[in-house]
Structure 1
Amino acid sequence: MRTLSLVGIGSGNPDHLTLQAIRTLESADLILLPRKGDEKTELADLRRMIARDLLKTTPRIVEFDYPVRDANTPKYLDGVNTWHDALAEIWGALIHEHAPGDGHVALMVWGDPSLYDSTLRIADRLRARGLTFDVSVVPGITSLQMLTAAHAIPLNTLAGAVQITTGRNLRMQGWPSDAATVAVMLDGDCAFQTLPANDIHIWWGAYVGMPQQILIQGPLQDVAETIVETRAKARSEHGWIMDIYLMRSN
């Protein structure tokens, strides 16, 4: 039976790959490598560098173009499900063509496959299409870990609850009522601007762990505008941005 390994590669620093990640990639017969458009070539280049410079073996590399999610779909989840179906079709076709029988296929997953990432859900779609395989997950250092390390702060307050959410949820639902700390991922619109800024401290980071890392922290009412301006400038300069932030209510 085939094996599909979903390998967390961290948040952009090759030094953060685990030995397990490297050994799993080295044992693969095929590595599927996504390309996410011209503006995100750095992401594909990092994966290429890992395969070229860090592995002692030479698995076959097959690159593919990442489908673009239709942001105009009226219902958000409908758009996401259609997008995931398209990815499953691509993965399935490439695996059938390049890894017949009992081959070992690997994908390098940004961050960790289990934290706000959909590769495991897409793997389930492959099974629903009749493709049989064992799934192996290799955990990776997450952007949330990198953020707290970069700012040298603990994730939680003493005995305090932490809520991990998205910018969409924060904008629609506001501050979770039972959380002392809120970590926000996938926020393209700086949803922290919708919160009452009093008594909230924010620790923000972009490209955490990478050479171009940017960090800003302080009372939300003092730094919110700076974060918005810095984020827009960085995105314009690099053509893409990955950022994350953590907030605490005082």
Structure 2
Amino acid sequence: MFLQINNINKQFINQKVTSDVLTNINLDIKEGEFVSILGPSGCGKSTLLSIVAGLTKPTSGEILLGGNPIKKPGKDRGMVFQEPALFPWMTVEENVMFPLRKEMKKKEAREVAHQYLQMVQLSNYTKHSPHELSGGMQQRVSIARALSMNPKVLLMDEPFGALDEQTRARLHHELEKIWVETKKTILFVTHSISESIKLSDRIIVMGTRPGVVLEDIHVKIPRPRGTHPQAVAKLEEKINGLLKTEIDKVVKEELAYAANN
């Protein structure tokens, strides 16, 4: 397998209290797959993505990319965060060029930056500052910056969560187009069932307390998914059922805890 997540466990210790965040996470992801990680708040979705990025160390277990263990951040993984995290003093072009500064000469880096800015349809904004762009445009710059490093895996942590529905819909379309063009492996964290169905080859549905994999769903609905509303609705109902059961479990645990304390 291309990306192997083997027996990942993560615990946080706060004031001598140990919390199990992730327990026994095992996933095999093929090269070129678009995989969404879906689940309620607190299930460890972002923590798992951070471990794959090399930003967080697991308590136990290992992650292999192309057979090599991930120990720290690397240029083989591009990260797109919830917020664009652009440098406000740099232009759009300079932001995309930034991770290339040690890899290639300035002229070549500029050519690469323009290639990916064209891919995200921002060729006319190369000299703009981030504050002159809308939130959706800033996130597209972030995507172009991550892609400019030509990573093996693109990691996306709820990149469209703060955007309005119209902007999200447009970026869904653009991201799907980019994925088809680049054939990148994408690991995408989301709270949105509809977003995960629209974009993904697979949906990893997670439960919480601790974070576990409830189900690994292979989405067999042909693309574009909007042309198959009945199949989409059926899958939404299935995932809603999984998450409702999980949320009901958490509520019962909280009520039991409150009654005993």
What interval of TM-score do these two structures reach, taking the shorter chain for normalisation? under 0.3
TM-score, length of structure 2 as denominator length:
0.26
TM-score, length of structure 1 as denominator length:
0.27
